[in-house]
Amino acid sequence: MQIKADLHTHTIASTHAYSTVQEMTAAAAETGLELLAVTDHGIGSPDAPHRWHFHNYKILPRKINGVWLLKGVEANIMDEDGTLDMNEHELSFCEWVIASYHTSCVTFERTPELILQGYRGACENPSVDVIGHPTTDYFPIEHEAAVRLFKESGKLVELNESSICWKPGAMKNAYSFYRLCRDYAVPLVVNTDAHFSEQVGKTPAAAKLLDELNYPRDLIVNLDAARVMEMAAKKRGIVFA
């Protein structure tokens, strides 16, 4: 399984990442990707770029190193109501929006009920495209209730290579969670969450998991870059030319 669009990556604008946009797109081209989304952390993160980073996305070309570019953000879910750290105006500068929980941004008690409530609020935000890395032990959820919510909301769900390899409990939880996603026919995006250029487009652990679950390939959206581009064009009027 080789993804053709990596839709969750970080550049040096997120200060715990280590590569530039040029380096990330060059790596994407070398890996055989056709589309890359740069999704640095939203402004609520301790290491986030200034909001002007997102305002200035207009200067980036649509294609760099032969790879189509989506200019996005990994926004933070900040509370149990699903409030994001970037409001509608800030998100209007972004072409691809992931909504994720991070421990550095959350102060409420992380019970499964409140976490699910926060996801529900994020799912009600029309700017959100993807729910990011939902299987870590940091944010426990009742799997079937969450999968049903994501299915009903029409949001894409992420299988995050970095998360299942490095975050506590993420791989163990992934087998239960993505088996339910399969059973409910939930569309996925398989992303690297790359913080260094050499990670771009490489998802061996995720591929193994999906093979073991016999996950339908037509539900893995970013195996086809054109499919992602069509979604982005339809939602935000992006012209890939």
Q: Structural domain tally of the chain?
A: 1
> Does 240 map to a domain?
no
The pair of structure tokens assigned to 21 is 């946009």
Residue 149 lies in a domain: yes
pTM: 0.98
**Domain containing residue 161: CATH number:** 3.20.20.140
* Confidence class for position 181, pLDDT limits 50, 70, 90: very high
The residues, ordered by sequence, that sit 6+ positions from 61 with a Cβ below 8 Å of its Cβ are: 69
Segment 149-162 mean pLDDT: 98
CA–CA gap between residue 200 and residue 170 (Å, rounded): 20
Does residue 241 lie in a domain region? no
Does a structural domain hold residue 117?
yes
Cα 89 off chain centre by: 20
Per residue, what are the HEC states of 91-145?
Answer: HCCCCEEEEECCHHHCCCCCCHHHHHHHHHHHHCCCCCCEECCCCCCCCCCCHHH
Residue 16 lies in a domain: yes
Query: What was the pLDDT predicted at 172?
Result: 97
Mean pLDDT of all residues belonging to the chain: 98
Residue 55 belongs to some domain of the structure: yes
By the 8 A CB rule, do 210 and 182 touch? no
**Average pLDDT over every residue of 8-20:** 98
Give CA–CA dist 189/225, Å, rounded: 11
pLDDT, residue 138, reads: 98
Tokens (6 digits) for 73 = 């953000």
Band (pLDDT 50/70/90 cuts) for residue 46 is very high
Range of the domain at 62: 5-235
